[in-house]
Amino acid sequence: LRTETLSAMAPVPAGFAADVRDGLLRSGQKEIPSKYFYDELGSALFEAITVLPEYGLTRADERILRRHAVDIVSRLPAPVIVAELGSGSGRKTRWVLEALSRRHPVTYHPIEISATALARCAREMSSIASVSVVGFERPYLDGLLAAAARRVEGEVLLVLFLGSTIGNFDRHAGEHFLRQVRGMLREGDALLLGADLVKSIPAMLAAYDDPTGVTAAFNLNLLGRINRELDANFDLALFQHVARYNEVEQRIEMHLRSRVAQTVLVRGLEMVVHFEAGETIWTENSHKFTPMEIVSLAERTGFRCDAQWLDQEWPFAQNLLVAR
């Protein structure tokens, strides 16, 4: 009854039902896109991941910005306006906005499909003196187009794409995405791209399979979300979180492995899904990079890599790509 009430109240996001149906009915490897991790519970679990001792990525990202924000923004001619793909954690973006606002008043455009995340970010950033926030509740590229259209002559647009979200795209899709971003920029505009670097395999595996089980909960919540929004009856205890490192593709792959042979009913999609014992649903790729790979990725997508800042504690690169 509770499930029925919830599914009646919560509108199913446009693509979610279709992607779950297609991904679970696939004849070979079952698959659900990782963008569906981030419902309210999933976003809270991701926040918890960012403070796990084993997951150094977010701290490294922030450490570089804290230490080098002044240097980063000094490489751009004033005046600069900022658009961020994903409204991000205020803690990271604040360093860049504060460094810029010491030079001149700054307009900041967070771009985010979650209204809650956008509102939280707008609230936090508006507290910085000389920063005005105009957010866009839209997909990345739609929002970027809107932000770019609002700038006035002479303003340089700085796009922030932090946290190594680029690593969650397949390599081809990531490259295509950067080309699309470049297409919305003018020569001299910039993209600050955060990218997690290849490191020791045990360190990478621990980051995606922490002993506390937070990443496992984050992964399993995808099945919980299908239960809640599509009225399914996944028993989460019958699935196991799996993180593997694929050395050829240089990426962590996350799966949910069925512990037993079982059949699951997804009432909202009027379908049943069969799992063999040991069969998996592929839920995420998290690609890792070398600094040189970022330089050549920049070159191939219409940018030049103006500078890179590396964190020593947790190999991570902040890359300033300038549109050429």
Residue 57, interface with ligand AVI (CB under 6 A)? yes
Q: Does 283 engage in binding with ligand AVI (CB under 6 A)?
A: no
Angle at 50 between CA 242 and CA 45, to 5 degrees: 65
Q: Is 175 exposed, middle or buried (0-12, 13-18, 19+ CB in 10 A)?
A: middle
Considering only CA atoms, which of 226, 194, 208, 181 is closest in space to residue 33? 226
Q: Considering only residues 215, 221, 308, 319, which one is a binding residue for ligand AVI as defined by CB under 6 A?
A: 215
Q: Contact between 208 and ligand AVI (CB under 6 A)?
A: yes
- Eight-class DSSP state of 261: -
Among 284, 294, 298, 320, binds ligand AVI (CB under 6 A): 284
User: Three-state DSSP class for 116?
Assistant: helix
Contact 125, 133 (CB under 8 A): yes
The answer to whether 164 contacts ligand AVI (rule: CB under 6 A) is yes
Q: What track of x and - describes contact with ligand AVI for positions 134 through 163 (by CB under 6 A)? A: -----------------------------x
Establish if 167 lies at the interface with ligand AVI (CB under 6 A): yes
Distance CA(304)–CA(148), nearest Å, equals 20
Identify which of residues 228 and 241 has a Cβ nearer to ligand AVI in the complex.
241
CA-wise closest residue to 23 among 226, 240, 239: 226
**Of 87, 107, 168, 221, the one binding ligand AVI by CB under 6 A:** 168
Written as six digits, the tokens of 234 are 């996944």
Name the residue nearer to ligand AVI (CB basis): 168 or 301.
168
Binding piece for ligand AVI, criterion CB under 6 A, among 3-11, 164-172, 179-187, 289-297: 164-172
**Position of tokens 């963008």?**
35
Contact status: 318 vs ligand AVI (CB under 6 A): no
Task: Count, in order, helices (H) and strands (E) of the chain.
Answer: 11, 13
Tell me which residues in 33-52 interact with ligand AVI (CB under 6 A). 49
Note the residues at the interface with ligand AVI (CB under 6 A): 49, 57, 163-165, 167-168, 208, 215, 284, 286
